[in-house]
Amino acid sequence: MLKELLGLLNLASPYLLLYTFYPTLALSPFSIVIYSFLIGVYTVFMAYQSSRKLEKSLGYRPQTPYKEAFEAEIRAVGLKETQTSVQYAFNDENIALTIFNTIVIDPTMWRGIENDEQFTKVQQILQSHIIPTIPADKQELLHSIKSILNEPSQRFIFRHELGHVKRNYGVRKLLVIGIQAFLVCITTATIAMSLIEVINGYVLFCASVLFAYLLDVLSTLASNVIFKVPEEYAADLFATKFSTREEIEAAANFFEKYDEVSKNYRLKHTPFWQIYLPDIFSKGYFNGQERARYLRKIAKRKSM
């Protein structure tokens, strides 16, 4: 929370300076709209820069014959292998994730490509420098996740990530981040402007930062439901189009078991106010049981 508040203070400091020297200009509706728009643009720019920096830092790609196998999967869903990159890197609890057109596969989880030289190099780096720094209960969780993952389910997961690439999820996510920042800023500033004659300006400024933080949390939960949940569901549907019944059922079993093996860890490490929230709010996707339910329905229709 402290980090987020400091970030909001940093974003609000130019407006505070404007209010200090030109209060009339700072409180005009036009200034509030322009400032909110600039905050939205700046937030998108910083998120874009962070993602691109992470993407450029990746340097371990699949080698033959695994490179050809991934490229065949990419072509099979209607994408060009020249426009979609596959990289190896540690993803924490994510088996695979998408950064714009790059799919990052976690070598601590993925099965079936242990003979890839690049894959082995990343594993050695992780075992030497990353894994020892991870708490024991987190290492146990990662081991449990790997134990329930199999090749059919990870093929489905890879196609799920290809669904994100196909739908330009990374770009659309940036747009949502910008809109969210704009709305938080303009709502906070408008309310503050209406109270400026009742509450001291600098006291109101501090209160506004706290209010903006709460509004940002609420808007994040709302964007999870409005934007991320439909995106994750659409990526699942995309994956089912190119997966066999057995692969869909394997994925359903994995997501169901994932909830079971991660339950104790979540209870211990999730903030208390998030524990009782449905996953669609706190994480932006359906829980494992719900996900398994609709995947099994699709798998059943495939067999008819």
Distance between CA atoms of 51 and 47, rounded to whole angstroms? Answer: 6
pLDDT single digits (tens) 25-53: 666 788 888 888 888 898 899 999 999 99
Looking at the DSSP bridge assignments, the partners of residue 105 are: 88, 96
> Is pLDDT above 60 for 56?
yes
Instruction: Say if residue 230 is preceded by a cis peptide, omega within 30 of 0.
Output: no
Any domain includes 13: yes
Any domain includes 125: no
pLDDT single digits (tens) 209-247: 788 888 988 999 999 999 999 999 999 999 999 999 999
Confidence label for 193 from pLDDT (cuts 50, 70 and 90): confident
> Is pLDDT above 60 for 2?
no
- 202 in helix, strand or coil? helix
Any domain includes 251: no
Any domain includes 157: no
Q: CB of 248 within 8 A of CB of 240?
A: yes
| Structural domain count, the chain | 1
Any domain includes 240: no
C-beta pairs of 214-222 under 8 Å, 24+ apart in sequence:
215/184, 215/187, 215/188, 216/4, 216/8, 216/180, 216/184, 219/180, 219/183, 219/184, 220/180, 221/277, 221/281, 221/282
Distance between CA atoms of 205 and 199, rounded to whole angstroms? Answer: 10
Looking at the DSSP bridge assignments, the partners of residue 88 are: 105
Look up tokens 């596969």; give the residue: 105
Look up tokens 């020249």; give the residue: 82
Distance between CA atoms of 245 and 254, rounded to whole angstroms? Answer: 14
Cα→Cα distances 220→132, 171, 251, Å: 33, 17, 28
CB neighbour burial string for 149-166, b if at least 16 within 10 angstroms, e if fewer: beebbbbbbbbbbbbbbb
What was the pLDDT predicted at 83? Answer: 85
Distance between CA atoms of 296 and 251, rounded to whole angstroms? Answer: 9
CB neighbour burial string for 33-46, b if at least 16 within 10 angstroms, e if fewer: eebbebbbeebbee
Confidence label for 22 from pLDDT (cuts 50, 70 and 90): low
Any domain includes 182: yes
Range of the domain at 40: 2-54+174-216
pLDDT single digits (tens) 102-141: 999 998 889 888 889 999 999 889 888 888 999 898 889 8
- 96 in helix, strand or coil? strand
Any domain includes 164: no
Any domain includes 59: no
